[in-house]
Structure formats: structure tokens, C-alpha cells
């Protein structure tokens, strides 16, 4: 993995004012993947958006890491269903006169 796409967890701890143990817990639950390079811990920059969402859910809604896992699974399921609805709506246009 290229280091340029990685962000040091230490930096994120400072930025979000959050303890390292929180990141570790997310890693244990498989919600993020911590990479260790030369004794430093990193996460890929592509997951930062999801990470920020997890922190907001944790802080603003008092949801613990297990809860975040459940929420993310349900959101994934919802996303798939929304895609399915979108496809079905497009299919429905076949049977309408105005499109």
C-alpha cells in the first residue's frame, strides 16, 4: 500500500480529539482497517468519510462501537434497497406514456 494514501492514526486522534483505543475498537470490529508501517499506525484516506460518520454517531447519538456496526450494516442494506427502488422506478417508465 502506498504511504501517500495513508493517514496516520495519531494525527486523526489529535484532530478529532479522540483516543487511540476508539480506533483500535473500530479495527477489532472490522469497521476500519489499521495498517502498521514502521511501527506507525495508518488508515487509508478513502475511509476517512466513513470514519467521520462513525465519530458523529458515537458522539452525537451516544452509540457505542457495536451499535455503529449495526447502524452501518443497516445503512448498507438500505443503500442496496434504494438502488433496487431506483432500478424499479426506471423500469416502471416502460409502462407509462409520459416519461
Partner 1 sequence: MNFVDYYKILGIDKKASEQEVKKAYRKLARKYHPDLNPESKEAEVKFKEINEANEVLGNAENRKKYDKYGKDWQHGEEFEKAQQQQRHQQSSRGQQRHQQPGGGGSFSEDDFSDFFESMFGGARSSSQHGTRGFKGQDFNAELQLDLKDVYQSHQQVLTVNGNKIRLTIPAGIENDQVIKIKGKGAPGVNGGPNGDLYIKFTIQNKTSFKRDGKNLYADIDLDLYTALLGGEMEAETFDGKVKLKIAAETPNKTKVKLKGKGFPVYRKENQFGDLILTYHIQAPTNLSDKEKALFKELQKLR
Q: 61 in helix, strand or coil?
A: coil
Cα–Cα nearest to 31, from 41, 19, 43? 43
Question: Which x/- pattern, by CB under 8 A, does the window 66-85 give for partner 1?
Answer: -----x---x--xx--x---
Q: Which residues contact 74 (CB under 8 A, 6 or more apart)?
A: none
| The residue to which cell 508501517 is assigned | 37
Q: Does 99 bind partner 1 (CB under 8 A)?
A: yes
Q: Does 60 bind partner 1 (CB under 8 A)?
A: yes
Q: Does 15 bind partner 1 (CB under 8 A)?
A: yes
What are the φ/ψ torsions at residue 51 (nearest 5 degrees)?
Answer: -60, -45
Q: Which positions lie near partner 1, rule CB under 8 A?
A: 7, 11-12, 15-17, 45-46, 48-49, 52-53, 55-57, 59-62, 71, 75, 78-79, 82, 86-87, 89-91, 93-94, 99
Amino acid at each position: 500500500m502506498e504511504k501517500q494514501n495513508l493517514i496516520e492514526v495519531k494525527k486523526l486522534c489529535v484532530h478529532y480529539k479522540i483516543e487511540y483505543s476508539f480506533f483500535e475498537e473500530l479495527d477489532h470490529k472490522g469497521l476500519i482497517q489499521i495498517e502498521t508501517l514502521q511501527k506507525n499506525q495508518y488508515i487509508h484516506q478513502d475511509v476517512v468519510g466513513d470514519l467521520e460518520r462513525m465519530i458523529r454517531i458515537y458522539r452525537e447519538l451516544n452509540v457505542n462501537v457495536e451499535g455503529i456496526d449495526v447502524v452501518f450494516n443497516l445503512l448498507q442494506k438500505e443503500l442496496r434497497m434504494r438502488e433496487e427502488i431506483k432500478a424499479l422506478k426506471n423500469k416502471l417508465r416502460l409502462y407509462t406514456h409520459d416519461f
